Amino acid sequence: MNDLIGPKSRQDLIRRGFSRRDFGRLAAFLTAGAALPFYNEAALAQGLSAMPNLPPDAVRINANENPMGPCPEAAEAIHQVIQQGGRYLYHETFAFVAALAEIEGLSKDHVMPFAGSSDPLHRAVLAFAGPNKSFVVADPGYEAGEKAAAFLGARTIKVPLRKDWAHDVQAMAQADPDAGVIYVCNPNNPTGSVTPKDDIEYIVANKPKNAIVLLDEAYIHLAKSAEPASYLVAADKDVSILRTFSKLFGMAGLRAGAALGRPDLISKLRSYSAGAMPVTGMVGATASLKVKGLVEARRKIIADIREETAEWLDKKGFAVLPSDANMLMVDVHRPGREVFSALIQEKVAIGRTWPSMPNHVRISIGTRDEMAKFRTAFGRVMNV
Ligand code: PLP
User: pLDDT tens digit string along 6-20?
Assistant: 677 777 778 787 777
- Say yes or no: 160 and 55 in one domain: no
Task: State the Cα–Cα distance between residues 350 and 360, nearest whole angstrom.
Answer: 11
* Domain end (from 247, 266, 289): 289
- Say yes or no: 236 and 310 in one domain: no
- Are β-strands 239-244 and 257-261 bridged in parallel, bridged antiparallel, or unpaired? antiparallel
Residues of the chain short of pLDDT 50, as ranges, are: 1-2, 31-34, 48-50
pLDDT of amino acid 200: 98
* Domain end (from 231, 256, 289): 289
Task: State the Cα–Cα distance between residues 264 and 256, nearest whole angstrom.
Answer: 22
pLDDT of amino acid 45: 67
Q: How many domains does the chain have?
A: 3
Is the shortest distance between the CB of 64 and ligand 1 below 6 Å?
Answer: yes
In-domain check, residue 260: yes
Containing 349, the helix (H) or strand (E) segment is: strand 348-350
CA dihedral 134, 233, 117, 211 (to 10 degrees): -10
- Say yes or no: 234 and 121 in one domain: yes
Is the shortest distance between the CB of 329 and ligand 1 below 6 Å?
Answer: no
Nearest CA to ligand 1 atom 6: 41
Q: Which residue among 41, 249, 255, 365 has the greatest number of ligand 1 atoms within 8 angstroms of its CB, and so is best to mutate?
A: 41
- Say yes or no: 283 and 300 in one domain: no
Q: Which residue among 245, 246, 254 has the greatest number of ligand 1 atoms within 8 angstroms of its CB, and so is best to mutate?
A: 246
pLDDT of amino acid 6: 67
- Say yes or no: 275 and 312 in one domain: no
CB 243 within 8 A of CB 100: yes
DSSP state of 347: T
pLDDT of amino acid 1: 41
pLDDT of amino acid 113: 96
CATH number for the domain spanning 364: value is 3.90.1150.10
- Say yes or no: 206 and 257 in one domain: yes
In-domain check, residue 150: yes
- Are β-strands 111-114 and 135-139 bridged in parallel, bridged antiparallel, or unpaired? unpaired
- Say yes or no: 10 and 89 in one domain: no
**Per DSSP, what are the bridge partners of residue 348?**
59
- Say yes or no: 244 and 157 in one domain: yes
In-domain check, residue 37: no
- Say yes or no: 138 and 191 in one domain: yes
- Kindly give the number of the ligand 1 atom that is closest to the alpha carbon of 119: 14
Task: State the Cα–Cα distance between residues 86 and 51, nearest whole angstrom.
Answer: 32
Nearest CA to ligand 1 atom 11: 118
Query: 3-state SS of the chain: helix, strand, coil percent to 5?
Result: 45, 15, 40
Short-list 323, 305, 309, CA closest to 224: 323
Single-letter amino acid, residue 70: P
In-domain check, residue 85: yes
CA of 362: how far to CAs of 33, 67, 135, 328, in Å? 32, 17, 24, 6
pTM, entire model: 0.92
Task: State the Cα–Cα distance between residues 238 and 265, nearest whole angstrom.
Answer: 8
Nearest CA to ligand 1 atom 14: 118
In-domain check, residue 285: yes
Task: State the Cα–Cα distance between residues 45 and 55, nearest whole angstrom.
Answer: 17
CB 327 within 8 A of CB 351: yes
CATH number for the domain spanning 227: value is 3.40.640.10
Q: What percent of the chain has pLDDT over 70?
A: 90
Compute CA 10 distance to the chain's CA centroid, rounded to the nearest angstrom.
29
Is the shortest distance between the CB of 141 and ligand 1 below 6 Å?
Answer: no
Backbone angles phi, psi at 378, to 5 degrees: -65, -40
Angle, CA 68 vertex, CA 66 and CA 73 arms, to 5°: 120
Is the shortest distance between the CB of 126 and ligand 1 below 6 Å?
Answer: no
Is the shortest distance between the CB of 116 and ligand 1 below 6 Å?
Answer: yes
Domain that holds residue 262: 72-289
- Say yes or no: 122 and 13 in one domain: no
* Domain end (from 289, 309, 324): 289
The three-state DSSP-derived secondary structure of 329-342 is EEECCCCHHHHHHH
Residue 2 CA to ligand 1 center (angstroms) comes to 32
In-domain check, residue 341: yes
Is the shortest distance between the CB of 114 and ligand 1 below 6 Å?
Answer: no
In-domain check, residue 152: yes
Short-list 340, 360, 384, 355, CA closest to 59: 340
- Say yes or no: 262 and 285 in one domain: yes
**Per DSSP, what are the bridge partners of residue 320?**
330
Angle, CA 84 vertex, CA 80 and CA 90 arms, to 5°: 105
Task: State the Cα–Cα distance between residues 230 and 260, nearest whole angstrom.
Answer: 8
Phi-psi region of 190 (alpha: psi -120 to 50; beta: other; left: phi over 0): alpha
DSSP state of 155: P
- Say yes or no: 56 and 187 in one domain: no
pLDDT one-digit tens code per residue, 322-374: 999 999 999 999 999 999 999 999 999 999 999 999 999 999 999 999 999 99
Nearest CA to ligand 1 atom 1: 218
pLDDT of amino acid 10: 73
